[in-house]
Amino acid sequence: MLPAGPFGSRPLGALRVRSWLSCLLLLAAASHAEKFHDIPPGGPGGLRVAVQPIADLEEAIVVEPTEYKAYLANIDRGAGVVAIQGLPPGKYDLVLKFKDKVFEGITLDPPDGLAELPREARDGVEEVTWMSEDYFNAKRIVRMGGNLGTVKLLVEQIRDKRTFDPGGTELKGIQIRRLDLCEMRKTGKIWTVKMNRHLFREERKIGGPGTELLFGYVPGLGGIRVGDGVVALPDFDAAAFKRRPWPHFYTASWREKEAAPAKPKPKPKN
């Protein structure tokens, strides 16, 4: 499902006070790509898929949804193919990150199955999502699914306000985006984060290509059973993708409210 429109503006109240030091540390940590992706362990399996338009494809990420491993697949632009080898037998999901679109088949089903989530449960999950990692000032739950005890969600997080690099230089006109796969469990009346797996991070010029991403859920890119050989998936054409609603999946968005400008001090009377 492709969420329509920009981020919402649902108020959340006063967020926690930020420090410039914590912002710099978070940015420095995120700048190391090797912390985002694992190395395939050298199993006998793999997968392969022809993708169009290959020129706009920026990353292809293979996710093991049980242990939350994430591997970068190789993009062969000449052959128009995405491929990865060295996977142990199991089920895998694929994320295709284009310049301005993301197509994914992430498995959000908890072990005891998907169910309709009442508004109260969704509110609880959303509140935890909005309040966590306050470095980001805009967030979108791309897809959320689960049941009354376990919820999994794909979350886009953006910082498009004043930002600095690890050396203290301001990144003017730049936004930072991160896509996370998150699992939450309910303990009593409280939802808590059990796992948060970063899938990719990028910097974009605000207003340029890729400032906003459109997301599409593609079931054929999920639950890929890999055995002792390379699995060839049906060709994927991004231009031929058609949106459709999916039951028991939900979306939501939030943006931090901008602080009101300071009122000018009254001039002293003579």
Q: Is the four-CA dihedral 169, 20, 22, 161 of positive or negative sign?
A: negative
Percent residues over pLDDT 90 in the chain: 74
Residue 263 has a pLDDT of 67
The pLDDT tens digits of the residues spanning 47-79 come to 999 999 999 999 999 999 989 999 999 999 999
Confidence band for 30, pLDDT divided at 50, 70 and 90: very low
- Higher confidence at residue 242 or residue 235? 235
The pLDDT tens digits of the residues spanning 185-219 come to 999 999 999 999 999 999 999 999 999 999 999 99
For residues 49 and 153, what is the distance between their CA atoms, to the nearest angstrom?
25
pLDDT at 22 over 50: no
Q: Which residue has the tokens 């939450």?
A: 184
Least confident piece of the model among 11-20, 72-81, 158-167, 255-264 = 11-20
Residue 270 has a pLDDT of 58
For residues 163 and 2, what is the distance between their CA atoms, to the nearest angstrom?
28
